[in-house]
Chains A and B, each alone.
Chain A
């Protein structure tokens, strides 16, 4: 009798689980939603920042800093605003992510998901580079050798932000 009950439970558990999953919402969301305005904002900033780097490629003199200050401020403000926009999206909590994290924790591995989208960190990093670049430019002018270092740092973070945000368009 007990074996029969057990078999019956086994037969009905999977369909019941599937039905419940269907009724409670078929689509699982484990990552933030795609934000088209944010993506467009990042790609537009990419163009503007690369244009700035192109104009600085041979270095700068500190006495001409005032001609660039407003441009730095606009770009820093835009990138910081995009970081806020990225962070403002709710990060979904999913039962699947939770299960994966329990599995990872039991094996002493860090959790899969953090509270922030990686694009938020990447955008902060871009703003940080631009702020430092502005500071050096104002203080002593930018040596030509420093420009590619700042540029490559920004390119790395832009690539992280753009790749992640475009991946969210699923």
Chain B
């Protein structure tokens, strides 16, 4: 049980840190993009066609940020499942003497 907890904590702490840093970077960059588009519209550098393109792109980028975060979380869940299975496999192997990697 302690092995499982220790393994999960190590994997999760590192992943949570990465995900946190990634989302902070993305939110800053998306806010900057909104500022750049606003400034461009006000200065007359962005015509109607470009305005529509940039706003639609911004929307797509936000949606894909959500999908990316979801994807990262799935990878973390997978790691946790595999840590639990590895510890259990090793415990059963020790007790039964069966080497599962050879099956």
Q: In the complex, A78 Cα to B70 Cα: how many Å?
A: 26
- A152 with B36, Cβ < 8 A, contacts A30-B78, A170-B79 known: yes
A122 lies within 8 A of B64 (CB): yes
Q: Tell me if B88 is interfacial: C-beta within 8 Å of chain A.
A: yes
- A146 with B40, Cβ < 8 A, contacts A96-B81, A117-B71 known: yes
Q: In the complex, A86 Cα to B78 Cα: how many Å?
A: 20
B33 lies within 8 A of A30 (CB): no
Q: Tell me if A18 is interfacial: C-beta within 8 Å of chain B.
A: yes
CB distance from B18 to the nearest CB of A (A): 7
Q: In the complex, A97 Cα to B71 Cα: how many Å?
A: 12
Q: In the complex, A158 Cα to B79 Cα: how many Å?
A: 24
A159 lies within 8 A of B100 (CB): no
Q: Tell me if B12 is interfacial: C-beta within 8 Å of chain A.
A: no
Q: In the complex, A129 Cα to B43 Cα: how many Å?
A: 21
Complex interface bits, A109-125 against B, C-beta within 8 A gives 1, otherwise 0: 00011100111011001
> Looking across the interface, which residue of chain A has its beta carbon closest to that of B36?
A149
B45 lies within 8 A of A163 (CB): no
B64 lies within 8 A of A153 (CB): no
Out of B33, B67, B82, which one reaches A28, CB within 8 Å?
A: B82
Q: In the complex, A128 Cα to B61 Cα: how many Å?
A: 12
CB distance from B68 to the nearest CB of A (A): 4
A118 lies within 8 A of B68 (CB): yes
A97 lies within 8 A of B74 (CB): yes
Given contacts A30-B74, A136-B50, A163-B72, 4 further A-B contacts (CB under 8 A): A22-B100, A132-B50, A156-B30, A170-B78
Task: List chain A positions with a Cβ less than 8 A from chain B.
Answer: 18-19, 21-23, 26-31, 94, 96-97, 100, 112-114, 117-119, 121-122, 125, 128-129, 132, 136, 143, 145-146, 148-149, 152-153, 155-157, 159-160, 163-164, 167-168, 170
